[in-house]
Amino acid sequence: MQRDLPRFRELSDFLHFLEGKGQLRRIRDEVSVVHEITEIHRRMLAGHGPALLFERPIKADGTPSGMPLLTNLFGTVERIAWGMGIVPDRLEELGTLMADLRAPRPPHGLREAWDKLPLARAALATRPRTRAAAPVQDCVAMGDDIDLGRLPAQICWPGEPAPLFTWPLVITAPPDSPTADQEENVGVYRMQVLGRDRAIIRWLAHRGGARHHQQWKALGRDMPVAIVIGADPATILAAVLPLPETISELRFAGILRGERPDLTPCLTVPLAVPAHAEIVIEGFVSATETAPEGPYGDHTGYYNSVEPFPVLRVTAVTSRRQPIYLSTFTGRPPDEPSRIGEAMNRLFVPLIRQQFPEVVDCHLPPEACSYRIAIASIKKRYPGQARRLMLGLWSMLPQFSYTKLLIVVDDDIDIRDWRAVMWAVSTRSDSSRDLVTLTDTPIDYLDFASPKSGLGGKLGIDATSKIAPETERLWGEPLAMDPTVIGRIDAMWSRLGLTGSAREPA
């Protein structure tokens, strides 16, 4: 894929770029990682403000940290797109690339084969290069020198029990993979600090890291793991993209950058990590030991319940000579994950169209915790089409399996205009005919509204215009002004000295 921006091989490259764009603010005052950074971040993010680099954070134990803390890195859709090397207008183009990688089609004719050459070149960019020496291993701590307390991990909300790693890229691999360059998984799973060399890793059962852990447990063995805190933006964002299971996140980061990724072998575990990362924590996740995790503030806007999760025993901590600690908070939207969800929304549409060509657009409102409500518009051609789409979307991607409410409308409705959507629901749906309800389906186990943990219902609303045999009535035509009149009024609007919107809906 053609890049719009320079290659950001390191996090510092991206920060220099952001600073040149006025999108990085340095905070030189002492600010505590206990609640204070969260509140500054929350206010800045709500106003679509810049990334924040706290140069003198105060750790949870009250002592100064010599390590700067970076937050709000991806607090706007614009910065998220920049992190992937493109301008925001090309997010759907990236989604098309991801759709082709998920289900490639053979080219029809020479012209289409030529057009697909960039995809072939991108595939070659996934093969990693191995570096024997890497900046992320300039400083090494092992044995008694290990101390997770040196990192300025945040305590984001009142009542949280311990510092939390909130942006860790957790690299795992199945037992039959000798190195992490083939089948590795990179996921973002928060980590509660238990002590100088112990932490809890919290992952949901359907995530890749949890799946690998179950495979290691079945053999009665602890699982090797590498945790990256701070990396180039493409690697960070690849960890949260809806990629096919056959494509590793580290390899896809190479596609985003347009070059092969540089990896380096870990020192104490059989995995490989980005050579230009900031901090790496190596260790083993126990096959048997768990500890109660939480409560912590979550993306739902509530504290999660306390539950047992596996314990990590740290065997090494490596870093650059002057590393930057990457952090964030999660809470009721808007938060950084919900902003990322806005950008991901635009990547989903080409993936959906690949399977359902009738889909015009799809929107997951970030206010609904990024994925719990979805609205889709379609070019309707046959009766029952909206119901077919509902069932298809709920089963298509893991992100949609947690969607509780799905509204389908016609293509004349702007799905990002809630007034238009509610007009369609109120005038094109009938409760006796147009509701689809499912029970006992997978649901976010953090959803306290569901009757059972991890198991709940789904509701679909068919708000499309009805065609026979969906209805026996003659369906009306929606009001619409003559386009020539609209053009004339547009031309005279300002001259008339009228106030209000120049383009109100009919």
Taking the CB of residue 192, how many other CB atoms lie within 10 A of it?
24
Q: Residues 376, 362: contact at Cβ < 8 Å?
A: yes
Question: In this structure, which amino acid lies at residue 97?
Answer: L
**Least confident span in 86-90, 349-353, 475-479:** 475-479
More confident residue, 17 or 181: 17
What the block records as the tokens of 201 is 């890793």
Helix (H) / strand (E) element for 212: namely helix 208-218
Catalytic (active site) residue 222: no
Instruction: Kindly give the interhelix angle for 385-396 and 336-355, rounded to the nearest 10 degrees.
Output: 120
β 262-265/129-130 pair status: parallel
Give 468-486 as a 3 state SS string: CCCCCCCCCCCCCCCHHHH
Question: In this structure, which amino acid lies at residue 186?
Answer: V
> What single-letter DSSP state applies at residue 401?
G
In the predicted structure, residue 113 carries a pLDDT above the cut 50 = no
- Model pLDDT, residue 180: 43
Closest to 340 measured CA to CA, from 139, 91, 152, 13: 91
Interatomic CA distance for residues 424 and 414, integer angstroms: 10
β 185-188/169-172 pair status: antiparallel
Bridge partners, residue 223, by sequence: 285
User: pLDDT tens, 136-190?
Assistant: 999 999 999 999 999 999 999 999 999 999 999 999 999 986 544 457 899 999 9
Write down the pTM of the prediction: 0.90
Q: Which residues contact 65 (CB under 8 A, 6 or more apart)?
A: 33, 56, 57, 58, 59, 150, 151, 152, 325
Query: Furthest-apart CA pair in the chain: how many Å?
Result: 79
Bridge partners, residue 353, by sequence: none
- Model pLDDT, residue 397: 78
Query: Cα-flanking dihedrals φ and ψ of residue 213, to 5°?
Result: -60, -40
- Model pLDDT, residue 117: 47
In the predicted structure, residue 75 carries a pLDDT above the cut 70 = yes
Taking the CB of residue 100, how many other CB atoms lie within 10 A of it?
15
User: pLDDT tens, 365-378?
Assistant: 988 887 899 999 99
How far apart, in Å, are the Cα atoms of 412 and each of 172, 376, 378, 415, 505?
Answer: 46, 12, 9, 9, 12
pLDDT-derived band at 121, boundaries 50, 70, 90 = low
pLDDT-derived band at 493, boundaries 50, 70, 90 = confident
- Model pLDDT, residue 4: 80
β 191-195/198-201 pair status: antiparallel
Q: Which of 298, 335, 434, 444 is catalytic?
A: 298
- Laid out side by side, the sheet with 435-442 consists of 359-363, 373-378, 405-410, 455-463, 435-442
Calculate mean pLDDT across residues 338-357. 91
Question: In this structure, which amino acid lies at residue 148?
Answer: L
Calculate mean pLDDT across residues 24-36. 98
pLDDT-derived band at 245, boundaries 50, 70, 90 = confident
Interatomic CA distance for residues 343 and 191, integer angstroms: 25
* CA-atom Rg of the chain in angstroms: 25
Question: In this structure, which amino acid lies at residue 427?
Answer: T
pLDDT-derived band at 292, boundaries 50, 70, 90 = very high
Interatomic CA distance for residues 452 and 439, integer angstroms: 11
